[in-house]
Structures are given as structure tokens and as C-alpha cells.
Structure 1
Amino acid sequence: MSARFRPIPGPVPTGGPAPEALPRAQWQQLLAFALLYVLVWSVLPPRLLSSLPFDVVESISWGREWQWGYYKHPPLAPWVLHLFYRAFGNVGPFLLSQLCIAATLGFVWLTGRRLLGPQRALLGTALTMGVAFYTRPALEFNHNVAQMPLWAGIGWAMLVALQEGRPRHWLLLGLLGGLGMLTKYSIGILLLCLGLYLLLGPQRARLRGAGPWLALAVLLAVLAPHLKWLWQSGWLPLTYMGERSATPGSSARLAALGFLATQLLNHLPMLLVLLGAALGARRSLPAAGAALTGGPRGYALHTTWPGYLWCLALGPGLLLTLLGLALGLRIRDMWGMPMWAFSGLLVAAWLPGRWVAPLRTPVLRGTAAWLVLATALSLGYLAFGAQLRHKPARTDWPQAALAAQAAATWDALSHCPLDVVAGNYWLAGLVAVPLAQRPSVLVTGDARFSPWVTPQRLLHGGALWLREDDEAPAPPAPLGDPTVLAALQEHRGQWQLPWPHDAQAPALTLHWRAYVPARCSRAAPAPSNF
């Protein structure tokens, strides 16, 4: 093998076996805390909320259709979420979020061991949980949360491929990259950063070998069915993404700087944990002069792959900010959720060598304290947020009562199962998701948004159309097609339901129209109130 293509090793030991990050007993305690944390964040939120979060409702209604794409996003996250909801009910979405976080931390740990050794890897992984994105925002499983483990997995797989150089590692990198693009297109920012690292960094000779091109081929093969769907759909998600990122006026570039400021703010708990740990362990920390191991300037990045760690930890966030500044794109703050998986490792890499062992226990304790505080605050807000805000959030809607009312109304009019619920993607999905019949959602707007609802399907099974006002336009296409309407019996009414967290507040009033095929029609009138 040519020396140019010889696998490059990870960190070189300084003598003797590598020190363990934690004794077995402490590993067991850490694992017990992690399992308890996952259990609390998976089981308690659905018991405190009266409806599933917005993105969860929307994704479940997509995932049950098993399409190769949806008008906003690629398909992988809705598919997986639908399976978890079928398996675990309302606990499923919250459990899936925590499993995504756990997998992310696992990849961070594996990456850290290769770059920094076990002790710094443990510190960096613990500090990652100090990024606020990993706590309250992760309650709502969406495409940003789904990206997290794939983002971290791609970073790890690329490192392994560069260090080991075996075809199977490049195959794995391509597979993870393809799955990442099937989750959300913004993972392309990470792939672009890694591509630039290969092109401009010390590993550019790798491009002369087969590995990177093998990874690219696998990525494209995994993505091929979705690319075909994109072409057939008229590039719907890209149109949506362009509209969402467009900002009128001159504030777009300032918004990009605001994005960067928000990302820094989300790192504040991490910095406070590290500061508290340093203050708590200050008596056991060596003097600065004795601790420095990085040459005459003292502090140095403790890794044999400094450029790669910089690229992973900061490259995507900075690149996205630059794109926003240069192109005037409106960057959403939550797009940064998966981008900071490796920022904790970057902090750990800069710690003086003799500080690592003394900081280990204080950092772990500080991270645990932060997570306990974040858990208490988040669960308290879920339980009492409606009263504090004096208005309901999406998760305060009476989802179970709405679903029961929809089923009762439809059963009074039709002896056929409810097959389609039409309306805006929040209201229709909120009603459709928990129903045992698993009806499809027909989204108001462009008929291409719901290709699974055809005129033939409506003629066969009918639909229930819901809205919050009674002055809505014609029913959404294809339900509004005159031929379809002429063949269905129309019934109208309204529901009034109390809010779960404030029975004294004005009732939630919804208007409905039921379109029933003649073969399914019942003679009994429909109930108008629940």
C-alpha cells in the first residue's frame, strides 16, 4: 500500500495503557441515571399533555401513508415516528426523541475516544448535554431531532473511514449520509463541510482512492427513490424550503447573526457547568504553568486531528450563518439543533492535560444537576404552562375529546369507517392520529400535498371536513370537485368542547361537514355537541 493512502492512526498513547474514563461502579451509576432520565422524559410528558405536539401530529399523519416524500420534508422521520406511535402509543414520540439523543451521545463518545482518548471523550460527551437543544426542545420529535444521531454518526463514520481506510467504513459513511438526506436536507450542510475538509485539508489524497467515491455512490443509491419522487412531485419540498427561508426587506442578514447568537445562548448551560466544575475543583487543579502540555504557548488542541474536530464542531453552524449573510436567507434558530453534537468535544480538547482527571467528577455532577433542573422546569411548564400563559398551547388542545366527537359524529351518519379527515394540517391531523380507523389526512391547500386522497377514494369512503370558522371557502381539492360533491350526502354541524386546563374558559368551537357516500348513509341525525 502506498504511504500516501496508508490508514492514519488516532491519538498516539503517551506510554502504558490508555486510562479508563470511569471505574465500573461509576459507569453503572451513570447508566442508571441515564436510564432514569430517558424513562422520565418518555413517560411523564404524555401524561401531562392533553394533545401531541404540532410536529408530531403532522409527521404521524404523513408516516402512515408510506410515501417516498412529503411536501415539506423527506420521508424517513415520519416513517420511524409512525412505527413508534403504533408500537408505544402516546409514549412513542417522546421515547423516540430520547433514543435519538442517546444514539447521538453514543456516536459522540466513540468519536471522542478516537480523537481525544477516553477521559476527554467522557468530559466532552457529558458537556454535550449542556447544550439546551438536548433538553426541552427535544420533547417535540421532528426532523431536527431525527437528524441528531445521523449527524453524529456521519462525523464518526468519516473519522473511522479516514483512520482505517477500509471499504466497509466508506460504505457505512455513504449509508449514514443517505439516511441523513432522507431525514432532512439540511444535513447536506454537514456533508458539504466534510467534503471541503477532504478537498482542502491534509486528507485530500484520499480523493484519489476509491473510498470517498464509494461512499458517494451508496449515498446516491439510498437517496435514489426519493430523488425520483422529488422529480415526479415537481420538487415540492424544495419549493416549500425556499418559501420558508425567504425574508422580505433587509433584515434577513441580521437574522443570520441572530441565528448565531441563539446558538451561543443555547451553549450557556454547558459553559456554566464547566465554570462551576472548575470553581468546585479549583483546589485540586494544578497550577497553570505545571498543567500546560501544548508547547510554549500553553493551551493547544489535544488531538492529532485538530482540523477535523474544528470542522465537525463549528463548520456547519458557521457555514450556515455565512450562507444566510451572503444570500439573505431566513435561517430558523431550530435548524441548529443537530449541528452542535461535537461542541462539547471541542471544549474538552482545549482543557489542559492535568485538568482532565480532576474535572471529571465535577463535570458529571454539574451535568446531572443541570439535567435535573431542566427536567423539573420542563415538566412544570408542561403541567402548568396554560395557566401561566392564560391561553392554551398546541399541546393543551382536547385531542382525545376531539377524536371521540369525530368518531361519534361519523358513526351516527355512516356505517362505513371514517377514511379521510380534511382540514388544515393541525386540526385534521389532531383528530385523525388517535382514531382506531387510522384515517388519512387531506390537507387544505394544494391537492399535491395529499396525493393519497384521490377522487375515487372519496367517492368510496367519503370524508369529514373540519375548520375553526364557518366562513371557509369550498372544500379542499379533490373533495371540492363538483363531481365528487354531487355523489356524496352533505351534513353540517358544530362541536363545542371545554379546554382541558380551564373548564371556565369559552369552549372550543369547531365546525364540521360530513360527506357520506349513499351506500354508507344512516338515517339517524348526527349529534351536534359533545
Structure 2
Amino acid sequence: MSTIKSARVDRRGALVHSPAGFSDFTAFTTASPAKAEILAVFIGFIVVWTFFYTVTEAPVPVKHDMTEAYAWGQEFQLGYHQHPPFWAWLCGLWFRVFPISPMFFSALSATNAAVGLLGAWYLLSCLVSGPRRVACWALLLLTPLYTFYAYKFDANIIFLSIWPWTLFFFFRSISQPGLSSALGLGVMVGLGLLSKYYVFLPLAGCFGAALVATSGRRWLASCWPWISVAVALLTFAPHLVWLVQNRAPPLHYLGSKLGAPWPDVWHRALRAEGGLCGMMLGVLAIVAGLTLLTPRGARTRVCALSRDQARMVAVLTLTPLVLTGLSALVLKTVVMDEMMIGVVPLAPLLIMQFFPGCPPLLLARVSLCGAIVLNIGAVVVAPAYAYWRVAHQHGWLRQVPVQEIAQEATDLWQRHVPAPLTYVSGSFILDNGAAFYSPAHPHSFVSHDFSQALWVTPQRIREHGLLSICMADDMICLQRAASFATAQTQQLPVTLSHRFLGYTTNPVAFIVVITPPLAH
């Protein structure tokens, strides 16, 4: 790091003169780092976690939600069967630029988390400064939200990057009302709406946070929120038109998830809520521990936030937790574990409010040291963890060899059909998985169902043919593949295993169904 302004902060958080030669690390915890230093930190984060994800996930196929994002992103639709399109668009654009490989999926996940951490850094600047800002940011990094949980790039994980920037423009709109803040907030809300309708729950927290603060109520009474709403609706409008034209498939999908059994509803809701709270226990332990270890006379009694700010932070952090649990119970739907992990970037700051005696400089140093150790440890531990997954996890032996069957089925198509492979379908995870892993990168015809893949039509299947990859015991897949059969259709049995570091998984039997184009 380059040298930062020579200053330090005492145990109470006050700036005092620093002697010459004071370390760059200490300067980073006490002053505002330069943009070049911030950029270096976030590039380093991307490199570290791209490496970690690439190495630790090498023994297994890319997660289903991620191959789904890739398959959808190929099509650039205004909407999809389950969700709005923004996160799939990002994935599609990413792989227009970078090679289609698991390593660059890891890089996409790490970049998404880094963009969110950058947003959190600027968001915190609206509320705190100096060592408190560094401490809150480093504590956020010490949770698994932006590291270990960030790999699964999907409609939930995209909020790691979207929501901190949404809150940044929200706070800036209240503290510095103006056109640029209103436009920024509107665009970010629009992108949230284009990612997942779940965004309405944390958005309710923004409305509640504005109500509990004097400046927020003044903002609500002005024209600026309406400008933000107009921009958000304009951003969301293309998808809204698509919803009307296609009879709102995502809403039908949501309807299919309602009415789940009560044991499943309670179990998943408690697991999601408890899991998120559990992730914050480390932050609580650090802040509370440092407070207890600090002599009473050395403790600061200056609260980091004003009363209005503290109320806003509490409402913004707790509203998604409360409303997510309530919606699960009211709608009898199963809550996914990762739903809330992207919408609580202010949780460490909220925890710090309960411990005003914690010395901010000491907390910043400890938290930043912890973040550095975490990143170094991730690099060091990654190869050992990858080996452990293969050598000692019995579940690894039962995995489906998605990459191998995608390659083998593509080879079979090319040997039997004198036409390029354009459409692929199959059993769950195999359709989108084959779209990603096949060298031909065909379009995914999800579950042989036109309603789930609106970019596919019967005419296109007749013109280009269809490759179906079914598990040998998946009768539903085989029946659906048979519904597209012609006189030239072939069924070829294939049995494959996945190999990694000299270890081999249990063999899996497949049926590859090749239906050539009618012209051939």
C-alpha cells in the first residue's frame, strides 16, 4: 500500500498526530484509504476467492443454479419461467467475454461478492468514518456471507452486489437529496426488481427506515422518492410487459411453491433465520469480547450513530428477517437458506451499536487482521479441503458425472447426426449442465417443457433436432423424450463415472436419446 496521511486514532477514537514511519496497516485503519488502495484490496479479494472456489469446487460439477444462470443467460429473455432476468443477463454477458469454464464461474461469483463489498464500503461512509468504518467493513468480511456463501451465483446471491449499493443511494438520497441520488436509487431498485421479487421485503425496510427518522420523513414528503419510483418502474417496465404477454410464469411458479407441509415450512424458516443469526455470532463475539477486555476507563462512550441513524440501521437489518419468516408462515412456503444473506450489510454496524464501549481503533485492527488471516487461510487450506472432499466425503461417490456425460453425449450426437447440436434436454441438472459442459454449448430445453423454455418451439425442434440425456431410471424424462421421437430416433445406453485425483465415483447409467432434424 502507498503511504496514507500520517495520523492515528487513540483508544477513544479521536484523531491524534502519528509519528513518522507509522505503518501503512495502522494508517488504513485510521484514515480514508486512496482509491488506488481500495481498488487493490478488491482485486486481491477477487483473486483469492476465485482461487478458493476453483480449487475447492474442482471435484464436483458446477452447481445447478449456476448452470441454470448460464443456460438462461444464453437466451437474453425479458423474463424466465421462475425469476426475472437480470442475474441471468449478467451471467450471459460474462461468458460472452470470458471462456466458458468452471474457473470463470468462480471468478464471476468472486466479482459479484467484491462489488457488494465495495458497495458496503461506500454505504458505511454514509454512517460512520475512520476506524469505525473499517471495523464494520472488516467484520462484514469475517462473516461467511461474502466469502464461503458467495459461490452459488443465482437469483439470491446477486443481492450481495445489488443491495449494498441500493442502500448507499437510499442513505445518500436522504442526506443529500438531488437528481443523481434519486436516479441512482431508482436504477438500483429497478435492478433488484429485475432480479427477484423477494426484493419487496427488504424494500419495505427502506420505507420503514425513512419513517423512523426526521430526515427520512422530510425525504418522503419531497419529490425525490417519486422520481426514484418512476426510474425503478421504467427499469422494470420491459419485464412487466413480458409478464403480461406471457401470463406471468414466475407468479405461477411461486404459486406452485405455496401450501408446503408445515414441518417443512417451520424447519426451513428456522434454519434460514437461525443460520443467518449464527453467522453473526462471530461478529458479536469479537465486539463483545473486545469490550469486556477493555478497562472501563479506556472505553469510549460515544455512540457511532445518531438516534435516527440507529433506528434506520435496525429497521433495515431486521425487516428482511422478520418479513421473510412471516411470509413463509403466511404463504406456507419453504424459505431458502440463502435468501437473506445479501440484504444485511449493516448487521455488524447494528451489533456495534449495542457495545458503545468497544474501542473503535482496536476493533478495526483486530477485524482487519482477522480478514487478512481469513483470506490467506483460504488460499492455504483450499487444496487440502478439495482433497478431503474426494477422499473422505462419502457423498462425493454418489455424484452424477455431469461433465463426462455432456461430453460423451455430444460425441455420440456428432457421430450419428450430420448437423450441429443445437438443443439439449434431459433429467434434472443434466439439461442445463449439458448446455454448460458440452463443447457445442447448445440451448437448454428445460425438462422437455416449452413453458419452462420459451425460446424453444416445436418448429425449432423439428428443424434442429433434440439431444436428450436421461438417467436410466428416470421414466418421466424418457417418456418426454419419446414424445419428440421420429423414425430416426436412437436410444443409446451409457454408463460413466467421475474421476478426480485418482478417485472414482460410483458408476451412473444414462440413456442418450438422439432425435435428428427432420431434414436429415
Quickly name the TM-score band, shorter chain normalised: 0.7 to 0.9
Q: Which residue of 2 aligns with 1:5?
A: none
Task: Give the superposition deviation at 1:451.
Answer: 1.5
Q: Counterparts of 1:517 and 1:252 in 2: how far apart (Å)?
A: 45
Q: How does 1:252-291 map to 2 (within 5 A)?
A: 252-253=265-266, 255-274=268-287, 282=293, 285=294, 287-289=295-297, 291=299
Q: How does 1:53-64 map to 2 (within 5 A)?
A: 53-64=63-74
The secondary structure found in structure 2 opposite 1:139 is coil
Which structure 1 residue ranges, 5 or more long, are not aligned? Answer: 1-12, 521-530
Q: TM-score, normalised by structure 2?
A: 0.85
Q: Counterparts of 1:88 and 1:176 in 2: how far apart (Å)?
A: 25
Match of 2:233 among 220, 241, 262: 220
Q: How does 1:477-516 map to 2 (within 5 A)?
A: 485-486=485-486, 489-501=488-500, 505-516=505-516
The secondary structure found in structure 1 opposite 2:164 is helix
Match of 2:249 among 225, 229, 236: 236
The secondary structure found in structure 1 opposite 2:341 is helix
Contact 1:126–1:363 (8 Å) recurs in 2: yes
Q: Which residue of 1 aligns with 2:416?
A: 413
Which structure 2 residue ranges, 5 or more long, are not aligned? Answer: 1-12, 18-26
Q: Which residue of 2 aligns with 1:523?
A: none
**Is 2:314 the partner of 1:310?**
yes
Task: Give the superposition deviation at 1:205.
Answer: 3.2
Q: Mean Cα displacement is larger for which, 42-51 or 188-197?
A: 42-51
Match of 2:371 among 367, 376, 387: 367
Q: Which residue of 1 aligns with 2:109?
A: 97
Task: Give the superposition deviation at 1:113.
Answer: 1.7
Q: Which residue of 2 aligns with 1:527?
A: none
**Is 2:42 the partner of 1:39?**
no
Match of 1:80 among 83, 90, 95: 90
Contact 2:109–2:153 (8 Å) recurs in 1: yes
Q: Counterparts of 1:418 and 1:100 in 2: how far apart (Å)?
A: 32
Q: Which residue of 2 aligns with 1:343?
A: 347
Amino acid paired to 1:510: F
The secondary structure found in structure 2 opposite 1:144 is coil
Contact 2:495–2:508 (8 Å) recurs in 1: yes
Q: Counterparts of 1:182 and 1:29 in 2: how far apart (Å)?
A: 33
Q: Mean Cα displacement is larger for which, 218-227 or 467-476?
A: 467-476
Q: Which residue of 2 aligns with 1:177?
A: 189
CA root-mean-square deviation: 3.2
Contact 1:130–1:267 (8 Å) recurs in 2: no
Match of 1:381 among 378, 385, 390: 385
Task: Give the superposition deviation at 1:510.
Answer: 1.0
Instruction: Give deviations 1:225-247, integer Å, cap 9, x for gaps.
Output: 11122223322212223333542
Q: Identify if the C-alpha distance between structure 1 residues 364 and 182 changes in structure 2 by more than 3 Å, giving closer, same or farther.
A: same
Q: Counterparts of 1:250 and 1:42 in 2: how far apart (Å)?
A: 38
How many positions carry a matched residue from both structures?
493
Instruction: Give deviations 1:170-211, integer Å, cap 9, x for gaps.
Output: 111010000111111112111111123334543223233211
Task: Give the superposition deviation at 1:120.
Answer: 0.9
Q: TM-score, normalised by structure 1?
A: 0.83
Contact 2:212–2:312 (8 Å) recurs in 1: no
**Is 2:168 the partner of 1:156?**
yes
Q: Identify if the C-alpha distance between structure 1 residues 154 and 361 changes in structure 2 by more than 3 Å, giving closer, same or farther.
A: same
Match of 1:65 among 54, 63, 75: 75
Q: Counterparts of 1:366 and 1:443 in 2: how far apart (Å)?
A: 44
Amino acid paired to 2:421: L
Amino acid paired to 2:281: L
The secondary structure found in structure 1 opposite 2:489 is strand
Q: How does 1:310-459 map to 2 (within 5 A)?
A: 310-352=314-356, 355-373=359-377, 380-392=384-396, 397-444=400-447, 446-459=449-462
